[in-house]
Amino acid sequence: MDPSAIIFQLILGIASAMLYWIVSSGLTFTFGVTRVLNFAHGAFYMLGAYFTLTIFELTQNYIFSLFFGATLVALIGAACERGLISRIYGLPVPFQLTLTFGLVLVFDDLVRIFWGSVPKMMPPQFVGSINVLGRALPIFSVYLIIAGIAIALIMYFLLSKTDWGMEIRAITVDPETAVCSGLNPTFLYATAFMFGSFFAGLGGGLYVPISSAAPGMGEHVIIYAFIVTVIGGLGSIKGAFISALIIGIIESLGALFVPWMTIALPYIALAAVLILRPEGIFGEK
């Protein structure tokens, strides 16, 4: 096979990987801090898509719609954390799953009531393609790669260079000592949840102009986000980035070489990691 075909396929795989990364970044971050497995993360992603679409219809400004939409999702996330999720901290996992899955159903139905059950589309924002290796690379693949890397850099900066990031890391590593040293856990948990929801909303908003918005759209991506976070190590942001890349690339190369088993590859990777390193690539034992 022409080696340029493989390189091109690799680039597309990285672009797909960035979508997985953007969605799982918030999920793994929220889990790292609050120890809550948030099933509703996919619902926040869906809300991000719908908010972006509707705000775009009103303003015709995509970048503004994207950030304003994600901010609204972050506020909803904070409200959910304060009103509901904060009440189950420390309770067994089934409580978390039941509550956050309940939220998924509620948000799905709310979306159906406000936007209807037929999927909605907004005008595509990144039209056209550039010539790479004699093939058409869609502009939106380029934009996904840029957005994914930008989000990784922003996360890195916020968590390692700001006071808030340091406090978040402190409460993640050792909650008791952190609280004894005067950190405010209520504030930190709420802002962490808000931060995670913001990235879920951003993921939905970034995705909607290359696809569409539909009730329940988050249910597909949440499964992948879980695979990514488990492979990377629950709570590890670096792990999520690397494992998203792994999944995106094996799927993409799989489509070229073994199309009949593409669907199985992420699960094979997941099984391999669970057998060889159950805590995930960057997870803690």
Partner 1 sequence: MAEVSRREFLKYIAALGVGLAIGGGIGYSARKPEVKIVKKGAEEVGGKIKEKIKIGHIAIFSGPFSTYGELQKRGSLLAVEEINKAGGIMGSKVEIIYRDSAAKPAEAVKQVRSLVESEGCDFIIGIDSSGVVLAVAEVMPEVNKLLFVTHAATHRLTEELVYKKGIKQVFRIAVPVYQDGIMAAFIASKLPAKRWGCVHPDYEYGYASWELFKKTLAKLRPDVEFVGEAWAKIGTTDFTPLISSIMEKKPDGIHTVEWGFDLFTFVRQAKQTGLFDAVKYDGGYAWINPMGYSIDAMEALKSEYPEGCWVSGRYIWMYPDTPLNKKFVKAHLDRWGHFPAYSGETSYTAVYMIKKLIEMTKTLDIDTHIKTLEDSTVYSPAGVRFIRKKDHQAVYSVPYGQIKHDPSYPIPVLTNLQSVPAEDYYRHPPFKEMPPFRELYKKVLPKA
CB of 28 to partner 1, least distance (A): 18
Q: Which is nearer to partner 1, 71 or 211 (CB)?
A: 211
* DSSP state letter for 120: B
Residues with Cβ within 8 Å of 184's Cβ and at least 6 positions away in sequence, in order, are: none
CB of 116 to partner 1, least distance (A): 8
Q: Which is nearer to partner 1, 91 or 105 (CB)?
A: 105
CB of 14 to partner 1, least distance (A): 10
Residues 111-150 that bind partner 1 (CB under 8 A): 112, 117-121, 124, 127-129, 135-136, 138-141, 144
Q: Which two tokens stand for residue 163?
A: 């006071």
Q: Which two tokens stand for residue 203?
A: 């993921």
SS3 for 211? coil
Helix axes 139-161, 3-34, angle to 10 degrees: 40
CA 243 to chain centre: 13
CB of 47 to partner 1, least distance (A): 15
* DSSP state letter for 209: G
Dihedral sign from CA coordinates of 158, 229, 81, 91: negative
Strands 129-132 and 135-138: antiparallel
Q: Which is nearer to partner 1, 12 or 168 (CB)?
A: 12
**CB 65, CB 56: distance < 8 Å:** yes
Nearest to 220 by CA among 38, 62, 20: 20
CB of 257 to partner 1, least distance (A): 9
110 binds partner 1 (CB under 8 A): no
Kindly write out the interface string for residues 149-188 of this chain, putting x where it contacts partner 1 by CB under 8 A and - elsewhere. Answer: ----------------------------------------
Q: Which is nearer to partner 1, 23 or 192 (CB)?
A: 23
230 binds partner 1 (CB under 8 A): no
Helix axes 185-207, 62-83, angle to 10 degrees: 140
Residues that bind partner 1 (CB under 8 A): 1-2, 5, 8-9, 12-13, 15-16, 19-20, 105, 108, 112, 117-121, 124, 127-129, 135-136, 138-141, 144, 207, 210-212, 214-217, 219-221, 223-224, 251-252, 255-256, 259-260, 262-263
